[in-house]
Amino acid sequence: MQISVQSDPFDFGHIADEFAKGHTHMGAVVTFTGIVRDDDLGGLDVMEIEHYPGMTQAAITKFAEYARDRWDLGDVLVIHRYGALKPGDMIMMVATAARHRVNAFEAAEYLMDYLKSRAPFWKKEFVNGTARWVEAKPEDEDALSRWD
Amino acid sequence: MVNILYFAWVRERIGIPKESVETNATTVRELVFELRQREERYEIAFSDLDSLRVALDQDLVDFDAPLAGAKEVAFFPPMTGG
C-alpha cells in the first residue's frame, strides 16, 4: 500500500507501470487520475489546494485499508497533491489491484468518493484574478451513501 | 487548554490558522458557543454550523461529541478533495 500527500508533481505513467508489475495473482489493475479542469471560458489561473497536514495521511490510509479489506485488493495506491496547481495539472491518482475487475473498479470508485468528501482538502480557485472557495456538492455527499 | 485549528474560509474569517484556548466546554457545541461570545469574527465564522465540519484529534465527529480531553480541535468547511 502506498499513500502519498505531496506538493510535487508525479509521473503517472511510471507509477502506473510500477504498480501493475509483479501482481501474478491479480488479474485487474484500475487507475484513475484527477486533472485540474479549466472553466468553460478558460478563466482559471490557479487552483490552490489546502490540507490538514496532521490528518490527511491518516484519513486516506484508513479509507485505503478499508477498501483493501472490503474488496480483497492485492495492492492500493493513492497520491494527492496540495499547493498551487494549473489547469491540466494532475491533482491526484488512485490505483487498485484485484483478482477480478469488478473489485478493482468498485474499490477505485469508493476511494474517489471518499477522497472528494472525507479527506481534509479544500480547493480555492483564482478565476480572472478573483478568488473563491470551491463548494462541496450535495451529490458528492449522496455518492457516499451507496457504500454503506 | 485545547489547540484549535481553522482551515480554508474558516481560517480566513477568523484571521488566524490556530490558537490555544482555556475552556470549560464539555462538547464541541459548547466550545463553539464560547468562541462565538468572543468577537464578531467568530460569530460570523460559526453562524451556520451546517456549513462546518469538525475533527477532534484528527477524527471527524459531530458537534455534540464530548471534548473529553481532546488535544486538538479543527474547524473547517465541507471537504473538496479529489
ipTM comes to 0.95
Q: Which residues of A touch B61 (CB under 8 A)?
A: none
pLDDT of A11 > 90? The answer is yes
Q: Read off the pLDDT band of A23 (50, 70, 90).
A: confident
DSSP class of A42:
S
Has residue A66 got a pLDDT over 90?
Answer: yes
Domain range annotation of chain B? 2-76
Per-residue pLDDT, B42: 97
Return the H-helix or E-strand segment holding A142: helix A138-145
Look at the domain A2-145 and name its fold.
Answer: Aldehyde Oxidoreductase; domain 3 (3.90.1170)
A141 to chain B, closest Cα gap in Å: 10
Contacts of A108-111 with CB under 8 Å at 24 or more apart are A108/A30, A108/A31, A108/A32, A110/A63, A110/A67, A110/A70, A110/A71, A110/A147, A111/A63, A111/A64, A111/A67, A111/A76, A111/A78
Helix A101-118, helix A53-70: angle, nearest 10: 160
> pLDDT-derived band of residue A39, with 50, 70 and 90 as boundaries?
confident
Q: Which residue of A has its CA nearest to B74?
A: A52
Cβ contact B82–A34 (<8 Å): yes
Q: Which residues pair with B2 in a beta bridge?
A: B21
* Chain B residues in contact with A134 (beta carbon < 8 A): 80
Is the CB of A111 inside 8 Å of chain B's CB atoms?
Answer: no
What average pLDDT does chain B have?
96
- CB-nearest partner of B81 from A54, A58, A119: A119
Chain A hits for B55, CB-CB cut-off 8 Å, are: 52, 55, 120
* CATH architecture, domain B2-76: Roll (3.10)
Residue in A50, A54, A92 nearest the CB of B58: A54
In which band, very low, low, confident or very high, does the pLDDT at A40 lie, cut at 50, 70 and 90?
A: confident
Which tens digit of pLDDT belongs to each residue from B38-74?
999 999 999 999 999 999 999 999 999 999 889 999 9
